[in-house]
Amino acid sequence: MKFQLPNLSESDLVRLVSAIYRIQYPEIDLLHEQRLGHQSRPDLLALGENPQIIELARITPQTRHRIKDRIDQLLRYREAFREKYPDLPSPQLVMVTPETLTSRYIDQLAEQEITVLDGTWLETVLSNHPYIADHFLARHSFDPEQPSDIAETLLARLNSVRCGRTEWYAYQKLCAEILEFLFFPPLERPILEVRNETKTNRRDIVIPNYCNSGFFHFLRVHYRADYIVADAKNYCKSIGKDEVLQLVNYLTEKGPGLFGIVISRNEPDSTAVMVRREQWVLDGKMIIFLTDVDMTQMITSKRHGGDPSTVIRQKIEDFRLAI
């Protein structure tokens, strides 16, 4: 079977790279999303005589800005690793991505002692060592999963992630996976942790919207939803005005646009609702709130062949018709 590497889901890429590493390096202890510190949770951590921090860039960074973001992220991970494991050697930094980078970007990463394992590496490993592909394919298939199977998995994960700071990153990544399942296509795949040029703002999830028809085209035209910005708040309590104002700062007409989503575990409090109304009336920024109940409804609709965007449409209708 020929691998369609650019089309791998995140979970597929994690399983594939994990399978390769466990066969090539049987002596290592491979950990998935091991917490190193606040906001430091690499995709894979290989512990052994020569530890490695492995970050999986399923959407291959192909601009100078995105390469720089990956470098900064991996350097932060390395510092967090040194603090947590002071008695271990400094880790090798590795970025795995399914497409092929130019030598210029590979050299730029190498200058920071970051090893790139890109699509060329993946294809070479699988062609030169077919037993690795056989080992992986015996357990996992790249045949598209049925929506009902994916939905069941996502619902189970949503119910298992505990609210609170400890699992904030797991919740953020899960929200991105849910949005991808629900809306890709017609939207593009979500991009995680997008910073602005001055590094003062970090948007949890950004979804490019290039739709030329349908509901998301309507959002792009009428609500300046050129990019849909989503903030995931894994709070046990209700979000308030501060969380809404944080998202408001990310929304600019000349930047990502004026449409945003706050995803949280519970309904927002009255201050959040008030600030959302003010932002729409005064500045034309449309913000909707999605909770676990809403996410569950959208997953359920998709699972049974319905249109999950109906929830977003009805949220906007309910809000505007109440003004």
Summarised one tens digit per residue, pLDDT across range 30-65 is: 998 888 877 788 999 999 989 999 999 888 888 888
Token pair for residue 171? 């919740």
Mean of the pLDDT values across residues 92-97?
95
Q: What is the mean pLDDT of the chain?
A: 88
**CB distance 257 to 249 below 8 Å:** no
Ramachandran quadrant class, 204 (left: phi over 0; alpha: psi -120 to 50; beta: rest): alpha
- Which helix (H) or strand (E) segment is 114 a member of? strand 114-117
Structure confidence at residue 2 (pLDDT): 46
Q: Are residues 61 and 165 in the same domain?
A: no
Tens-place pLDDT, residues 3-30: 445 466 777 788 889 988 888 888 889 9
How would DSSP label each residue in 235-269? -SS---HHHHHHHHHH-BTTTTBSEEEEEESS---
Distance CA 35, CA 60 (A): 24
Name the residue with tokens 């790249």: 142
Phi then psi for 296, rounded to 5 degrees?
-65, -40
CATH code at position 285: 3.40.91.50
Q: Are residues 29 and 123 in the same domain?
A: yes
245 lies in some domain:
yes
Indicate the pLDDT class of residue 263, thresholds 50, 70 and 90: very high
Q: Are residues 71 and 206 in the same domain?
A: no
242 lies in some domain:
yes
154 lies in some domain:
yes
pLDDT at 76 over 80: yes
- The C-alpha R_g of the chain, in whole angstroms, comes to 21
Domain that holds residue 246: 147-321
Domain boundary among 100, 117, 137: 137
Distance CA 144, CA 225 (A): 29
Q: Are residues 10 and 97 in the same domain?
A: yes
133 lies in some domain:
yes
Q: Are residues 153 and 108 in the same domain?
A: no
Q: Are residues 173 and 210 in the same domain?
A: yes
Mean of the pLDDT values across residues 184-206?
78
* CA-closest candidate to residue 183, choices 290, 308, 296: 308
Cis peptide before 185 (omega within 30 of 0): yes
Distance CA 113, CA 92 (A): 8
112 lies in some domain:
yes
Q: Are residues 270 and 189 in the same domain?
A: yes
Structure confidence at residue 145 (pLDDT): 59
pLDDT at 144 over 60: no
Q: Are residues 199 and 266 in the same domain?
A: yes
Q: Are residues 109 and 73 in the same domain?
A: yes
pLDDT at 111 over 90: yes
* CA-closest candidate to residue 315, choices 286, 288, 279, 280: 288
Least confident among 145-159, 164-178, 189-203, 204-218: 189-203
pLDDT at 139 over 70: no
Q: Which residues are within 8 A (CB) of 33 and not within 5 positions of it... i.e. 6 or more apart?
A: 41, 42, 43, 169, 170
Domain boundary among 137, 157, 182: 137
> How many Cα atoms within 13 Å fall on the side-chain side of residue 102?
8
Structure confidence at residue 138 (pLDDT): 53
Q: What's the angle, vertex CA 20, arms to CA 148 and CA 143, rounded to 5?
A: 25
Mean of the pLDDT values across residues 304-313?
92
Domain boundary among 137, 166, 197: 137
Label the pairing between strands 286-290 and 29-32: unpaired
Q: Are residues 85 and 165 in the same domain?
A: no
* CA-closest candidate to residue 265, choices 170, 152, 191, 150: 170
Structure confidence at residue 4 (pLDDT): 45
Mean of the pLDDT values across residues 125-143?
64
Question: Long-range pairs for 146-155 at CB < 8 Å and ≥24 separation?
Answer: 147/181, 147/302, 147/303, 147/305, 148/303, 150/181, 151/181, 151/299, 151/300, 151/302, 151/303, 152/303, 154/178, 154/181, 154/299, 155/296, 155/299, 155/300
Q: Are residues 128 and 153 in the same domain?
A: no
Higher per-residue pLDDT: 221 or 126: 221
Number of domains in the chain: 2
pLDDT at 119 over 90: no
* Strand order from edge to edge, sheet including 191-195: 191-195, 202-208, 227-233, 259-264, 286-290
Structure confidence at residue 127 (pLDDT): 81
Q: Are residues 198 and 251 in the same domain?
A: yes
Least confident among 5-14, 49-58, 103-112, 123-132: 5-14
Q: What's the angle, vertex CA 54, arms to CA 53 and CA 56, rounded to 5?
A: 150
Mean of the pLDDT values across residues 266-279?
97
